[in-house]
Amino acid sequence: MIIRGNIVDILKRSIFKGEVEVSDGKIIDIRPSEHDVKNFILPGFIDAHIHIESSMVVPSEFAKIALIHGTVATVSDPHEIANVLGVKGVHFMINNGKKVPLKFNFGAPSCVPATSFESAGAEIDSHEIKELMASPDIKYLAEMMNYPGVLLDDEEVLKKIEYSKNNNKPIDGHAPGLRGDDVSKYIAAGISTDHECFTYEEALEKLQKGMKILIREGSAAKNFEALIDLLPEHYNNMMFCSDDKHPDDLLLGHINQLCERAVAKGVDIFKVLQIACINPVQHYNLEVGLLQVGDTADFILVDNLQKFKVLETYIDGELVAKNGKSFVTTVPFEILNNFETEKKNVADFEILSSTDKIRVIEVLDGELVTNEIEANALVVDGKIISNVDNDILKMTVVNRYQNTNPSIAFIKNFGIKHGAIASSVGHDSHNIIAVGTSDEFICKAVNLLIQHKGGICAIDGTIEKVVALPVAGIMSDQSAEVIGKFYGELDSMAKEMGSNLRAPFMSLSFMALLVIPSLKLSDQGLFDGNIFKFTSLEIS
């Protein structure tokens, strides 16, 4: 097989008319050619950090869509399903991913559960990490979110890091806002990357201290604009990632979109492509071709080097997608789940109080971090209720793994005027999270997800919309096209109910993510992420 085009050799920083000869899945020759060509041939794109589960489809269905955008490989953390099903969930992702050509590279989840301050469905201890790290299917130790454990020399945390080093596999970081001596110690432990930087200054310090920084642009967390100016000088130590990509966004594009945006800002094309195509392969030792003779034939054809419209995608010499059509077919898989709680009563969401002041979670659109603010409590008949006029809405997290009382907090900036939204995609333990204008709406939304054993839903009066997620309560058994359409309808409904957030359901899913400051809610209570302790709702 011979493919002709303008060949983009990123390693040699050259572009020339030529042809690529492929045999038995390998590139056996790359040579100049005088044929008239318009398209460009370059290595495929790589998402350097993603939770496939956040696309709400299994890996084989994710691959169908990612391939049409020129993504040939991912560095994937199966942390989400691991919090539900443990090591069994990790093996589910690996085995399903092997059934399609996209090159999934899974890590061993380092923090399951993410903290001891929430209820997860499983635990992965250092002994299981040792077994996972010895497997050739595991490429790295996934994000070490327990940075307090690293700083305090927690024995269990250090064992996990040691097992990764013993197998010569990289260790991913997760340390939002960590600076100074603390980040120096974190890096010295062997942690080599961070995708959680949300300011230029933080990312620059980590780069200067030897970390590799990922520019993240997902459905909720968007740090491209804050970090892109670092790329021209630090491109050797940076990568692109999405972290979390909801299905409707995935249908529109992937890493190709970040390349387009970077080039539009005037960044050198070779620097952009190095962080999109080369750096992840070299850092994680991925078995992905870089458009060199002897490499596996993993490459893409694009129409130009400004918009990066992907015309063809090849993996191991096989044409797997062309002109927006994927040639990957649906594969069968077993549906696993862990959803044990019983339906709730409206009274379960009532909170008695006569207080004047309460702590409130303030959502920041496009960020995972939140603020802690104070607000006047709206008390009616001795109960604190949602204050719709001031956009201080009641929020709940309900343990999905056992029958316990819901935890309650209040949240600002969701903007819902009437009704409730809920999701069992709740990082990191994936309990049920709901926000609403009344206890009745919240209870109804929570019970709808319990009935379906997982999903996302919106309720406004008599109107109910739900997307069932039967696979671990976080993924669909349907295609990305189907789930993307339904998710888009739910997203629109939430916005019609008053939400001004760009991605209401994605933002909701992170309101129980305790490892991201500052104020969050777990199924066990209101949590201050700055000091890693529970705090009170009421301010005395």
29 belongs to a structural domain: no
Domain extent, residue 492, equals 346-539
170-to-13, 162, 234 alpha-carbon distances in Å: 27, 11, 20
> Do 107 and 141 touch, CB atoms closer than 8 A?
yes
* Tens of pLDDT, residues 38-48: 999 999 999 99
* Tens of pLDDT, residues 415-431: 999 999 999 999 989 99
For 342, counting Cβ atoms within 10 Å of its Cβ (0-12 exposed, 13-18 middle, 19+ buried), the class is: exposed
Report how far residue 492's alpha carbon sits from residue 499's, in angstroms, rounded to the nearest whole number: 9
Q: With bands split at pLDDT 50, 70 and 90, how would you rate the model's confidence at 368?
A: confident
Q: For residue 9, count other CB atoms closer than 10 A to its CB.
A: 18
The domain spanning residue 162 has which CATH number? 3.20.20.140
Q: What whole-number percentage of the chain has pLDDT above 90?
A: 92
Q: Are residues 279 and 420 in the same domain?
A: no
Q: Are residues 262 and 350 in the same domain?
A: no
Would the CA dihedral through 140, 145, 151, 157 be positive or negative? negative
Report how far residue 467's alpha carbon sits from residue 460's, in angstroms, rounded to the nearest whole number: 15
92 belongs to a structural domain: yes
* Tens of pLDDT, residues 369-417: 999 999 999 999 999 999 999 999 999 999 999 999 999 999 999 999 9
Report how far residue 9's alpha carbon sits from residue 290's, in angstroms, rounded to the nearest whole number: 9
Report how far residue 488's alpha carbon sits from residue 44's, in angstroms, rounded to the nearest whole number: 28
Report how far residue 384's alpha carbon sits from residue 350's, in angstroms, rounded to the nearest whole number: 8
Q: Are residues 260 and 355 in the same domain?
A: no
Report how far residue 472's alpha carbon sits from residue 429's, in angstroms, rounded to the nearest whole number: 11
Q: Are residues 368 and 239 in the same domain?
A: no
pLDDT at 366 over 90: no
pLDDT at 88 over 80: yes
- SS3 per-residue string spanning 320-360: EEECCEECCCCCCCCCCCCCCCCCCCHHHHCCECCCCEEEE
27 belongs to a structural domain: no
Q: Are residues 259 and 369 in the same domain?
A: no
Mean pLDDT for the chain overall:
96
Per DSSP, helices labelled H in 28-176 are 59-68, 79-85, 87-97, 126-133, 147-151, 155-166
Report how far residue 42's alpha carbon sits from residue 72's, in angstroms, rounded to the nearest whole number: 11
Domain count along the chain = 2
Report how far residue 415's alpha carbon sits from residue 211's, in angstroms, rounded to the nearest whole number: 38
Q: Are residues 256 and 350 in the same domain?
A: no
3 belongs to a structural domain: no
Q: With bands split at pLDDT 50, 70 and 90, how would you rate the model's confidence at 217?
A: very high
What are the φ and ψ backbone dihedral angles of 257, each rounded to 5 degrees? -65, -40
Q: Which residues have C-beta within 8 Å of that of residue 377, sequence separation ≥ 6?
A: 353, 355, 356, 357, 358, 384, 538
pLDDT at 515 over 90: no
pLDDT at 354 over 80: no
Of 444, 413, 440, nearest in space to 508 by CA? 413
pLDDT at 508 over 80: yes
Report how far residue 169's alpha carbon sits from residue 190's, in angstroms, rounded to the nearest whole number: 10
103 belongs to a structural domain: yes
Tokens coding 501: 């957030």
Question: What is the structure's pLDDT at 462?
Answer: 87
pLDDT at 516 over 90: no
Q: Are residues 74 and 188 in the same domain?
A: yes
pLDDT at 104 over 90: yes
Taking every pair of Cα atoms in the chain, the longest distance, rounded to a whole number of angstroms, is 83
Q: Are residues 412 and 267 in the same domain?
A: no
* Tens of pLDDT, residues 286-315: 999 999 999 999 999 999 999 999 999 999
Domain boundary pick from 262, 287, 312: 287
Report how far residue 437's alpha carbon sits from residue 56's, in angstroms, rounded to the nearest whole number: 26
Q: Are residues 80 and 221 in the same domain?
A: yes
Question: What is the structure's pLDDT at 329?
Answer: 93
Question: What is the structure's pLDDT at 506?
Answer: 87
Q: Are residues 278 and 395 in the same domain?
A: no
499 belongs to a structural domain: yes
Q: Are residues 487 and 376 in the same domain?
A: yes
What is the average pLDDT across 91-108?
Answer: 98
Question: What is the structure's pLDDT at 219?
Answer: 82
Domain boundary pick from 259, 287, 315: 287
Q: Are residues 420 and 271 in the same domain?
A: no
* This prediction's pTM: 0.93
Secondary structure of residue 377 in the 3-state scheme: coil
309 belongs to a structural domain: no
Domain boundary pick from 237, 264, 287: 287
395 belongs to a structural domain: yes
pLDDT at 220 over 80: no
What is the average pLDDT across 22-26?
Answer: 98
pLDDT at 209 over 80: yes
Of 10, 89, 403, 51, nearest in space to 246 by CA? 51
What is the average pLDDT across 521-538?
Answer: 95
Question: What is the structure's pLDDT at 152?
Answer: 95
495-to-218, 420, 489, 504 alpha-carbon distances in Å: 19, 11, 10, 8
pLDDT at 34 over 80: yes
